[in-house]
Amino acid sequence: MTRSDERTVLVVDDEPSHRLMVRAVLEDAGWSVAEAPSGDKALELLAKVQPHVALVDMKMPGMDGLTLLRELHTRLPGLPVVLLTAFGSVGSAVDAMKQGAFDYLTKPADNEELKAVLEKSYEYSRLIDENARLRAERTGNDGGIIGVSPGIMRVRELIEQAGPSEATVLILGESGTGKELVADGLHRASPRSRKPLVKVNCAALPADLLESELFGYVKGAFTGALKDKPGRFQLASGGTLFLDEIGDMPGHLQAKLLRALQEKFIEPLGSVKSVETDVRILAATNRDLRADVASGRFREDLFYRLAVLEIPIPPLRERMDDLPVLTGYLLRKLGQKNHKEIRALSPAFLEALARHAWPGNVRELENVLERALILARADTLGPDLLPPQLAGLVSTGTCPAHGNGTAPNALPDALESAMEDAERETLRRALDTYAGHREKTADALGISRRTLQYKLKKYGLTKR
């Protein structure tokens, strides 16, 4: 989580006199103070401010401090929350710390103790921000977009060029190609990266629910609307709103979205007042929007509003020279996730990967590898671990499951040569792209510098 440089604390307490006292103490100590009289109001404030620390009263009418703690951590993971509790409720505050509270103070808090605890919380928050920044620098703004095929290199180039702008971007690609990763990269490369990136899947929600999710609603707007609720436009204020599968948005919502883009205002459901917005829009689709425009299914004026810049992502079948490094990257990631290490792939397993058309793209590849990794009883993935759609792609003579198979570590000559040629060419191209810079090359390939050095030596590329 990243925030503005000004130290900001969110004070949530239903007692106005106590909030006034805390504000005076903290502003005198150099803090910027945002106040809320309830948990609901505190969550609404998050559309305008991202605090470094939250100071929350445990006992409040409506949403109590523990519930607010959980909500804050859902929306702002890593936010240090300091709880204020009456002397007799210290036990519940200790329990809350086990659920993620940073610290607690008994009311009325000693002014010096209050400032000291918040300073400690701020330092923790600053370290979280710094670690996030260093991780972003280490992996690049396009973290997770692995490969150096021409199509992927073009994607990385467009992220670098478009990221710092305010332009709306339309990300195009089949399901499973990594459209969300591109949106993440664009947000990280943008001046808005210190504000939220809010994501909405337009295909996952029915039309009436999608409208309320995007634009929010006011109390009484419909049956069950018991209180005001901010929409995703408000939650993304100052940041980025990513509209995934925009091609599935119903026509009447397309008109409402167009108006929001043109006028920079939205109208929550049931409200007669317009709310100003400050968001950058990124959109993605697996549909042919130009064809949808021609057929009247998608508004032409909205299309041109969204497609100031288009970033097409190639399907995996068109970037098969990235398959070796992509497979290695995914296996390392999945191994860490599942606490399991895979050291080798059998020739039959590799053969099936190389022959498959990958209609589900990188997402399908990741699923195949995770399934195999979980089921594996050894550190080598064999053909018996392939799902049905790949099992039939193994040559009869080379598949151990069919008998007469080759040893797991001995690739058939043609396959071994093809895989090595692909890996050598990928390494060479990556080195050329990054002018021999080893660290950037390793990042692009999703491997460590030590692994890169080993492979360069293996293929005689160490002098490049």
Which range (18-32, 151-165, 223-237) has the least confidence? 223-237
pLDDT, residue 130, reads 61
pLDDT-derived band at 84 (thresholds 50, 70, 90) equals: confident
Q: How far is CA 152 from CA 184, 312, 394, in A?
A: 15, 9, 28
The secondary structure of residue 253, as a DSSP letter, is H
| Nearest-5° Cα angle at 209, 208 to 213 | 125
Ramachandran region, residue 140 (left: φ > 0; alpha: ψ -120 to 50; beta: rest): left
Host H or E run for residue 12: strand 8-12
Helices (H), 63-164: 65-75, 90-98, 111-139, 150-162
pLDDT, residue 373, reads 94
CB 169 within 8 A of CB 309: yes
Structure tokens at 334: 């999945």
Q: Which domains does the chain have, with CATH numbers?
A: 8-137 (3.40.50.2300), 145-314 (3.40.50.300), 318-458 (1.10.8.60)
Structure tokens at 76: 């702002």
pLDDT, residue 89, reads 57
pLDDT-derived band at 93 (thresholds 50, 70, 90) equals: low
CB 330 within 8 A of CB 365: yes
pLDDT, residue 409, reads 38
pLDDT at 111 over 50: yes
Mean pLDDT for the stretch of residues 177-191: 94
Q: In DSSP terms, which residues pair with 240 in a beta bridge?
A: 197, 280
Question: Tens digit of pLDDT for each residue in 318-346?
Answer: 998 888 888 888 888 899 889 888 877 88
Mean pLDDT for the stretch of residues 122-136: 65
Question: Tens digit of pLDDT for each residue in 26-67?
Answer: 999 999 999 999 999 998 888 788 899 999 998 898 898 888
Structure tokens at 166: 């305010």
User: To the nearest whole percent, how much of the chain has pLDDT over 70?
Assistant: 85
pLDDT, residue 402, reads 33
pLDDT, residue 294, reads 96
pLDDT at 357 over 70: yes
pLDDT at 388 over 60: yes
pLDDT at 95 over 90: no
Question: Tens digit of pLDDT for each residue in 207-262?
Answer: 889 999 999 998 888 888 888 888 999 999 899 999 999 999 999 999 999 999 99
pLDDT, residue 296, reads 95
| Nearest-5° Cα angle at 243, 241 to 244 | 140
Distance in angstroms (rounded) separating the CA atoms of residues 349 and 382? 6
pLDDT, residue 404, reads 34
403 or 164: which carries more pLDDT confidence?
164
Greatest mean pLDDT among 52-61, 125-134, 304-313 lies in: 304-313
Which among 458, 434, 459 is positioned nearest to 445, based on CA atoms? 434
pLDDT, residue 96, reads 65
Which amino acid, residue 239? Answer: G
Distance in angstroms (rounded) separating the CA atoms of residues 374 and 111? 54
- 318 burial via Cβ count (<10 Å: 0-12, 13-18, 19+): middle
The β-bridge relationship of strands 275-276 and 380-381 is unpaired
Which range (282-291, 336-345, 440-449) has the least confidence? 440-449
pLDDT at 427 over 70: yes
* Mean pLDDT, the chain, integer: 84
Question: Tens digit of pLDDT for each residue in 396-426?
Answer: 543 333 333 333 333 344 445 556 666 777 7
pLDDT, residue 344, reads 79
pTM of this prediction?
A: 0.64
Who contacts 430 (Cβ-Cβ below 8 Å, separation ≥6)?
Answer: 148, 441, 444, 445
